[in-house]
Structure 1
Amino acid sequence: MSDISVILASFLTAGVEWVEAFTIVLAVALAIGWPRATAAAGAALAVLALLTLFGARAVDSVADLRIVQFVVGVFLTLFGMRWLAKAIARTAGLKRRRDEAAAFARVSGTLAATASHGAMLVAFQGVLIEGLEVWLIVVALGTQTGRTAVAAGAALAALGTVMAAGIILRAPLARVPETAIKYLVGCAILAFGTYWMLTAMGYVWPIGDYALPVLMTGYALGGLVAVRALMQLAR
């Protein structure tokens, strides 16, 4: 797998999660100030960095690489299915699309009667929970491809992009096409998972790594068919 594939998958996955985390941090910052909100978010990011370091080393310590490949493949397949299913349901109108402005309002309302230390905990938990999915993807992609540093760098680049956009706009990033990104990333992660899981089981792909874009395209087209079928059933 090329560095570009790892970078795109990590950047897009992390970008969606960081947008959701930023919404929480912004609400906390407006309630108790940026210094304390940033400190809480920074502490969560430090925990995620340690988890990435130790997680990658733990996976690398497994002697049988096929076991790692199979476990990572199963995880990515399930993760990709979840993201793709959510995107399909939202596109078909069966599930409400995430509204960052509404999420911001909910968090702000919750913080209205929260003490400073409680608000900091909200920021810490929000960044940690959203970041855990980023951590899982970085470790899974990084250890499987031998490009943990590349995957982590892409995730950090996504974090920097979201932070820069948020600081400039000083508002929830409501215009980010989260559903479309989740659809594309879901297809990509599902393709990676399928590829590695079947490879670990002994299947030899006739076209090698070129099977990845073929799988991704197949899942994307299948998702569009599912969207159309669900929309017709809903009428």
Structure 2
Amino acid sequence: MSTSVVIVAVALASAVEMVEAFTILLAVATTKGWKTSISAAATALLVLAVIVAILGPALLHVLPIDTLRTIVGVVTLIFGLQWVRKAILRSSGLKALHDEDAIFEREVKEMSQTQNSGKVVDSVGFAVAFKGMFLEGLEVVIIVLTLGTTSGHLLVSSVTAVLTAVIVFGVGAALSRQLSSVPENKMKMAVGVMLISFGTFWSGEGLHVHWPLSDLSIVGLIALYAAVSYLLVQYLKSAQVTEANRRSSAS
């Protein structure tokens, strides 16, 4: 698989998750201090790095390549379907868009209601920041492991995820605000489509399906799933308009 394709997929996925993580970290920093927020984030990243370092090589050496491709393909397919489903619902208006501003305000309100421990690192703030960073980062780890191990670019995937996190946090810290202007839903749609395409390709390879254009078949799969997703969004929008007109006529 092209290294550039892996880099793009990992970078987009990491950017989406890190924007969400930074929103929580910023809320903790605003109410409990930057030392608490940064120490929690660093601890979570260290734990995630250990998971990648242990599971990555283990997957490559323990499982036969066909079994690995099938398992990773199915996991990636399921993961991508979840992202695309939410992105389609949000794009069609059936589900509210992910609002980083609302999340930030909620986190600040909740954290403000807890008393500061007076310590350099607040225990409550540390727990909230660690949980936010770890859970959002865990999704990135899954993507790094699936894309990295199956494509043979685990190191490239890991470095890409780390650099993306550094960029997102650096920009966010410089602006001192949550990155609510990032078109998160579009990024999730793009990443979801790519993950579904990778999942389909790898599952097929694991089951000894012969792809006519080899790795280039992924490009065709991406185009196919992107077109299907677009049509689904348009259909759902049209269905809502039709339903609204029907109710208007009935009343």
Equivalent residue of 2:62, what SS? coil
Q: Is 2:100–2:179's contact at 8 Å kept on the other side of the alignment?
A: yes
1:189 aligned partner, one-letter code: L
Deviations 1:138-167 (A, max 9, x none): 011111111111001110111011012101
Cα distance in 1 for residues equivalent to 2:22 and 2:163: 14
Equivalent residue of 2:180, what SS? coil
The equivalences for 1:188-227 within 5 A come to 188-227=194-233
Q: Considering only CA atoms, is the larger Rg found in Structure 1 or Structure 2?
A: 2
- Structural RMSD (CA): 0.8
- Structure 1: which 4+ aligned runs deviate by more than 6 Å? none
The equivalences for 1:84-233 within 5 A come to 84-114=84-114, 115=116, 116-233=122-239
Give ranges in structure 2 of 5+ residues lacking alignment.
117-121, 242-251
The equivalences for 1:19-58 within 5 A come to 19-58=19-58
Cα distance in 2 for residues equivalent to 1:182 and 1:63: 30
Quote how far apart the aligned CAs of 1:230 are. 0.5
Quote how far apart the aligned CAs of 1:169 are. 1.1
Quote how far apart the aligned CAs of 1:57 are. 1.9
Quote how far apart the aligned CAs of 1:11 are. 0.5
Q: Is 1:62–1:68's contact at 8 Å kept on the other side of the alignment?
A: no
Equivalent residue of 1:43, what SS? helix
Give ranges in structure 1 of 5+ residues lacking alignment.
none
Quote how far apart the aligned CAs of 1:71 are. 0.3
- Sequence identity (%): 37
Quote how far apart the aligned CAs of 1:61 are. 2.1
TM-score, L = length of structure 1: 0.98
Match of 1:11 in 2: 11
Quote how far apart the aligned CAs of 1:63 are. 4.1
Match of 2:245 in 1: none
Deviations 1:31-80 (A, max 9, x none): 11111210011000000000000110220122421110000000010011
TM-score, L = length of structure 2: 0.92
